[in-house]
Structure 1
Amino acid sequence: MGDSSRRSQIHIVLGTHWDREWRHNFEETRQRLISLLDNTLELLESDPSIPAYVLDGQFMPVKEYLEMRPQNRSRITDQIKSGRLLIGPWYSLPDMVVTLGESTIRNLYYGIRRCRQFGHVMNEGMTNTSWGQISQMPQILNSFGIDTYASYHGVPGHLFPIEFWWQAPDGSKVLFVRSPSTTRAAFWLASRKAFAPKPEETETVCPSSPLLENAYRLTDMPTVDSTPLYGDDTKRPADYNRLYEEFAHYLEIIRPECSTPHILMGELIDAQQTPPGIVKMIDELRTRHKKDDIRLSSIPDYFAAVKESVKDLKTFEGEMRFPHKNAFAFRLCNVLATRMYLKQANRFSEHLLTRWTEPFCAFASQAGNYYPAVEIDDAWELMFINHAHDAIGGCSIEDVHSDMINRYNQINNRCRAILHRSLGHISRNLTSGPLTPNQSRLVVFNPLPHKLTDIVEAYVDVPTDIFHGGIKVTDLTGREIPCNIISTSISKSVSLELQLIVCPAVPVRRLHIEFQAKDVPALGYAQYKLESVPPTKPVGSGISASDTRLENEFIRMSVNPNGTIDIFDKEHDQTFTGLHYFQDTGLDRAARNSWYIIPPENDKAFTSLDSKADSRLIYCSPLQAKIKVSYTLRIPRSIDTEKVTVGRMEHFTTYRYADRSNELIDLKIESIFTLRRSARRIDIETTLLNNAMDHRLRVMFPTDIATDVTWADAPFDVVSRPIKKLDPQDWAELRDLGDVQTNPMLTFVDIATKNRSMAMLVTGLPEYDVLEDSRRTFALTLLRSIFHGRLDPETKLPPIHSSQCLGEHTYKYAIYPHQQSWDKAGVYEQAQQHNLSFTAVQCMGPGTGKLPACASFISFDHPGLDISVIKKSHTRDALVIRLVNPYDHRINTKMYLAWQVRSACITDMLEEKVLAHLPCQANNISLQVEPKKILTILIDIE
């Protein structure tokens, strides 16, 4: 730690922390951005002694400023080119914990590319966001040529020095500088009181304060949060005595934490501007404070100085999501389950873009189709807006999150439109052989990097005049595939969209069919012929079912009277009992926002264990069977708003509620359990109608697995976490802001011993916990219904907020029993299959192209590698493939392509710097992928 007697270099960094939208909607916030950048440009142009202004490490504010101020493009470009207005490397400031790792890479990729268009990009990793730090961030940063990183959530001062080496699982390192215990905005904390009429007015404004003299607001909105008071304090003189007192106070807090003589004191506070007289303020500090060298600096200059001074720094490895003991910079990780519908929508859009649209548009372009680069770029830029930390965190006002859903819809519509055409182009250009007049083709596509056998469900059309009541499916050899009709629509018309002729609609019967497709090639397709025939009885075998039982060759599931299920894993001779009950607990409105989870003082858990559930078989075929279980959970309507006490936490006033309401209401829940032929997992879809407020609903799975750790997938990694909880009395964050020690996941969490193991597979549900009870109960969060906003004790019932998540919600997850560890039991692959399975295209005529009838575009001769993305390069006519080895062992494999390979190389993530040339032969590339490595491969196709 630092020597308090030594002379230090104080780096005062000017800048802002810019939330695109959070407390106010985007357009309201953009007006503040316009004012900020107008004034910043004037400041930089009028005073060359100011070295730099940091625009929060991102590009997006520049784009959205210039949309309203296009006349200032040359002015802003001049300042960026000169390195005085520092932007990037990020596009936006995302939360990296709940988004896919590929999204983090692309945020940097697009951010750097867009910044370069203005002449310069800051090459230091900096983000004042992300609710915790992901383990692979050093490897990602290194691959963009970045060896520094500044952040703070999840990095408490009592565990980490200010400067340390942070290492990724593959050995990549960055110099990490965490914010001091005074936060990232130490200089702003000091300077703000210099402009306040009274020091206490930085906390509460007096009714007679001069700060209110020119304040104004619209009066058309009733709620306090809707329309703020706006004023102008830029003309206020600074009180230099108060400035020096506060500066010295914060400096002496920071100094002992630093291991070098360089101390960073930033402005970097939310949406605030730099005072016009900043240079004079610094001169005054130099005059009064002779002990240290005080200078206006920048993030690049500060990091350069620290690099020259560091000696024997400690190295820390892995993710950092630790609570804070007594500091302000809480990790705020409880956004994991806030507005769960956003997390679900995000995962759907990410998968649609990265695992379907980009790869198959790239494949189609190799077959002569247009590659929709502009459309894909635009979809990504919409995604980056939604990935901004306060947006995806779910912790903003109403307008922000309704806009997010609109953007996800735009992303999905755009992706489906171009994917539709790309899959259609591939399907029309296959060889298929002739079709009879009453036949059509179904092309089944597999997005996974391995062969897939699974049930195909598709809605297919049969022209009304040739519909005979049934359907026959055959492969291209003529072998019949058992097929069942799940449902048949009444006759309807489907439009025929042509370019030259306006056609009447085609009358059809739309059939919902199912059949098992076996060994569909990796990242490829298989073809089937469809023909309407007279009705036949369902054929095949493999599923036994009743109202309370499902069974196939691997699993037997039974439903108990209270709706819990028992599972017998035939393959490994293990039984799990009492799984899948619901637990509901209260959430206090004390937190007033989306980051904290504070239970009522006298909280009580309500469960479905003592209720009577209704169970019935709703579908059964030789391929799959479904049981629907209906639950009624009696829970309090809300918090009891009559029992309120006013208190004070370390940083804000609280209004604490003692109890949940005595009024109980019915929470109706329905879960559909599906077991498919040859499946080793049970898929579950749960739908509920939430009509209660201030509560958290979880689904519980007692595992009876004697282990102390869990394994969960994270961006480009699978991490181990202890089950044992921290004592909340020793940690300010847990004591004051709720003892919630939940953890994130992307698609699975595994609880395992050598002889007994179970994985939970999820789709867009990022929060889990494992209780320290005798049964090691796994808890999956479904719903967090909270109050967000200011709360006054006189307000008995504040307006219902969308953060309460009232209405209908549907969740998808699965249970996968197995033995041994996740890496030996195929957990990673099962999670992928749960999230990504077949998509099919129906073609009414034969294929007329030269593509093989059944083929893989990309495959491997050794399993284990995951594919983060396949796309076309932005800079050349080449294919980009990003591979991930999530395992602890090296993978040696050959990658086979559907085309002849001219050359292949490993590049950085910008796809510019060649790191290694790869041996190629004909259509294959030899690969050696080290543990936990992310490889970006650029391939030139013949």
Structure 2
Amino acid sequence: MGHMVTGVNQMENEFLRVKFNSDGTLRMENKETGDVFDGMHYLEDAGENGHSWMHESPNRDEIITSHAAPCHIAKIEDGPMLARFRVDYHMMVPVGLDYVYDEAYTGQKPRAQMRLPRATTRTEEKREMVVRSVFTLRKGAKALDVETKVDNQCENHRVRVCFPTEIKAKVSAAEAAFDVIERDVIRTPANWYWGRPNPQLPMHRFVSFSDGKRGIAFANNGIREFEAIEDNDRTVAITLFRAFTFRQPPILDRYDIYPEMKLSQCPGEMSFKYSILPHKGDWVEGEVIREAERVNLPLETAQVGPHKGDLPKSMSFLSIDPVNLMLSTFKKAERSDSLILRVFNPTTDDIDGTITFHTEIKTAWITNLNEERREQLQPDGKKINLKVGKKKIVTLELEV
């Protein structure tokens, strides 16, 4: 039947070769292009003195990585369709923050004193945090799937998984609602973050980095923050969680603190799913969106009993080409029995798209978001051909 484990702590398929280093990091080779990414997937634990909206480091931080931590590597599955390895990282991390206070004059008259925090530092007391990552490589897959679990028993810290890509990308490309947004990786005086701490940035289902010839993307299911670190390795850090003391601002720049609200500290077991996708070219050429769709919308199967029917054994209910023309909505119209189909183009080029239905399309209209008809289209049997401009959203009404 064949096996996908091809050596000690190594697995590969048609597109990827993955080898686990002794410190739990990965050496990934894109067999299509020959690109190699080494030292990938190490963990970073840092202090967290921020709040719901942003990360702030303690005044005296202590950043701990998994490089020197004990790790256990185990092969847990090997077959013709997939291979799996598990890596357990055993890290000793501070249990929380210590606060150093000093007397400070409030400016009130008569002179009044109040105790204000002067500095924050991570505690000397530490506790073991075990992070377990399961790596799955499937037959025919161009991405490596990862599920990472952690039982968090510490407070006021941030845990990230880091990838030294060594890709000299000028921009990051992160998905947002109906768009993919590019942001500078290297800050210049014209950048808003010049002279400020390196920003953590939002992403929806993926972020990609490319130098024009080669690239790497990180697709996720529910992880929403990344940072492109300005170091020689061009490290990308993906935030798994931030455990912080809850604060609520009743007015601008004033925060009421609620240390008793412990859920903001993310206690207990958590699970995170993401995929690592080396690709050629940029995110468009590498069809990164297809991978993001797979991670978030996996194919679901259902079995039914014997029954009569006239459908063929194999058919597609709806198909949209090319891959970067994205489906947003498919539903019944609000005021009729027509069908509403909404697509969008997140790229910077116009797309000549084709929508193919499972049955003949009688009439088709372009509508606005209120489903009010604006332009009639001429279907070609089961197909509709349309041009979608760059960064545009198009809503269709179909009668079948």
The yes-or-no answer on 1:830 pairing with 2:291 is: yes
Q: 2:71 aligns with which of 613, 617, 638?
A: 613
Matched residue SS, 1:841: coil
Q: Distance in 2 between matches of 1:660 and 1:840?
A: 49
TM-fit CA distance, 1:658: 2.7
The yes-or-no answer on 1:657 pairing with 2:102 is: no
Partner of 1:921: 380
Kindly report which structure 2 residues correspond to 1:32-431, keeping only aligned pairs within 5 A, or say none: none
* 2:46 and 2:61 in contact (8 A); partners too: yes
The yes-or-no answer on 1:630 pairing with 2:73 is: no
Letter in 2 for 1:841: A
Q: 2:25 aligns with which of 564, 567, 574?
A: 564
The yes-or-no answer on 1:713 pairing with 2:175 is: yes
Letter in 1 for 2:163: F
Partner of 1:670: 132
Letter in 1 for 2:59: E
Letter in 1 for 2:326: D
* 2:368 and 2:374 in contact (8 A); partners too: yes
Partner of 1:681: 143
Q: Distance in 2 between matches of 1:693 and 1:644?
A: 20
Partner of 1:810: 271
Matched residue SS, 2:291: helix
Note the alpha carbon deviations across 1:224-248, whole angstroms, 9 max, x for none. xxxxxxxxxxxxxxxxxxxxxxxxx
Kindly report which structure 2 residues correspond to 1:522-601, keeping only aligned pairs within 5 A, or say none: 539=1, 541=2, 543-545=4-6, 548-588=9-49, 593-601=51-59
Matched residue SS, 1:842: coil
TM-fit CA distance, 1:647: 7.2
Matched residue SS, 1:741: coil
Partner of 1:85: none
The yes-or-no answer on 1:644 pairing with 2:101 is: yes
Letter in 2 for 1:867: L
Letter in 2 for 1:724: I
TM-fit CA distance, 1:550: 1.2
Matched residue SS, 2:302: strand
* 1:647 and 1:654 in contact (8 A); partners too: yes
CA distance change for structure 1 residues 748 and 790 in 2, over 3 Å: closer, same or farther?
A: closer
Note the alpha carbon deviations across 1:253-285, whole angstroms, 9 max, x for none. xxxxxxxxxxxxxxxxxxxxxxxxxxxxxxxxx
Q: 1:757 aligns with which of 203, 215, 219?
A: 215
* 2:66 and 2:91 in contact (8 A); partners too: yes
Matched residue SS, 1:874: coil
CA distance change for structure 1 residues 656 and 667 in 2, over 3 Å: closer, same or farther?
A: farther
CA distance change for structure 1 residues 810 and 900 in 2, over 3 Å: closer, same or farther?
A: same
TM-fit CA distance, 1:648: 10
TM-fit CA distance, 1:631: 0.4
Q: Distance in 2 between matches of 1:608 and 1:859?
A: 44
The yes-or-no answer on 1:939 pairing with 2:398 is: yes
TM-fit CA distance, 1:725: 4.3
Letter in 2 for 1:634: M
CA distance change for structure 1 residues 893 and 594 in 2, over 3 Å: closer, same or farther?
A: closer
Q: Distance in 2 between matches of 1:744 and 1:646?
A: 39
TM-fit CA distance, 1:548: 1.3
* 2:70 and 2:91 in contact (8 A); partners too: no
* 1:752 and 1:821 in contact (8 A); partners too: yes
TM-fit CA distance, 1:879: 0.3
* 1:586 and 1:605 in contact (8 A); partners too: yes
TM-fit CA distance, 1:654: 6.4
CA distance change for structure 1 residues 572 and 542 in 2, over 3 Å: closer, same or farther?
A: farther
TM-fit CA distance, 1:704: 0.6
* 1:545 and 1:617 in contact (8 A); partners too: no
* 1:542 and 1:553 in contact (8 A); partners too: no
* 2:284 and 2:324 in contact (8 A); partners too: no
Matched residue SS, 2:369: coil
Letter in 1 for 2:151: L
Q: 2:325 aligns with which of 865, 869, 886?
A: 865
TM-fit CA distance, 1:692: 0.6
Q: Distance in 1 between matches of 2:268 and 2:203?
A: 25
Considering fraction of residues, name the structure with more strand: 2
Q: How many residues align?
A: 383
Q: 2:236 aligns with which of 778, 781, 802?
A: 778
CA distance change for structure 1 residues 545 and 644 in 2, over 3 Å: closer, same or farther?
A: farther
TM-fit CA distance, 1:850: 2.1
* 1:550 and 1:558 in contact (8 A); partners too: yes
Partner of 2:201: 743
Letter in 2 for 1:921: D
Q: 1:881 aligns with which of 335, 338, 341?
A: 341
Q: Distance in 1 between matches of 2:248 and 2:375?
A: 56
Letter in 2 for 1:887: T
Note the alpha carbon deviations across 1:309-347, whole angstroms, 9 max, x for none. xxxxxxxxxxxxxxxxxxxxxxxxxxxxxxxxxxxxxxx
Partner of 1:846: 306
TM-fit CA distance, 1:799: 2.8
Note the alpha carbon deviations across 1:43-100, whole angstroms, 9 max, x for none. xxxxxxxxxxxxxxxxxxxxxxxxxxxxxxxxxxxxxxxxxxxxxxxxxxxxxxxxxx
Note the alpha carbon deviations across 1:144-188, whole angstroms, 9 max, x for none. xxxxxxxxxxxxxxxxxxxxxxxxxxxxxxxxxxxxxxxxxxxxx
Partner of 2:156: 694
Taking structure 2 as the reference length, the TM-score comes to: 0.89
Q: Distance in 2 between matches of 1:726 and 1:695?
A: 30
RMSD: 2.6
* 2:3 and 2:78 in contact (8 A); partners too: no
Note the alpha carbon deviations across 1:405-456, whole angstroms, 9 max, x for none. xxxxxxxxxxxxxxxxxxxxxxxxxxxxxxxxxxxxxxxxxxxxxxxxxxxx
Q: Distance in 1 between matches of 2:105 and 2:171?
A: 36
Considering fraction of residues, name the structure with more helix: 1
Partner of 2:109: none
* 1:546 and 1:617 in contact (8 A); partners too: no
TM-fit CA distance, 1:646: 7.1
CA distance change for structure 1 residues 892 and 639 in 2, over 3 Å: closer, same or farther?
A: same
TM-fit CA distance, 1:886: 1.6
TM-fit CA distance, 1:838: 1.1
Partner of 1:122: none
Q: Distance in 2 between matches of 1:731 and 1:632?
A: 35
Partner of 1:381: none
Matched residue SS, 1:852: coil
TM-fit CA distance, 1:680: 1.1
Compare CA radii of gyration and give the structure with the larger one.
Answer: 1
Matched residue SS, 1:895: strand
Taking structure 1 as the reference length, the TM-score comes to: 0.39
- Following TM superposition, where does structure 1 have runs of at least 4 consecutive aligned residues deviating by more than 4 angstroms? 645-649
* 2:170 and 2:211 in contact (8 A); partners too: no
Matched residue SS, 1:832: helix
Matched residue SS, 2:301: strand
Q: Distance in 1 between matches of 2:10 and 2:203?
A: 30
Q: Distance in 1 between matches of 2:53 and 2:105?
A: 17
* 1:547 and 1:616 in contact (8 A); partners too: no
Q: Distance in 1 between matches of 2:225 and 2:105?
A: 29
Matched residue SS, 1:920: coil
> 5+ residue gaps in structure 2?
107-114, 250-257
* 2:143 and 2:276 in contact (8 A); partners too: yes
TM-fit CA distance, 1:561: 1.3
TM-fit CA distance, 1:687: 0.3
TM-fit CA distance, 1:755: 3.3
TM-fit CA distance, 1:632: 0.7
Q: Distance in 1 between matches of 2:307 and 2:353?
A: 33
Identity of aligned residues (%): 32
* 2:142 and 2:277 in contact (8 A); partners too: yes
* 1:648 and 1:654 in contact (8 A); partners too: no
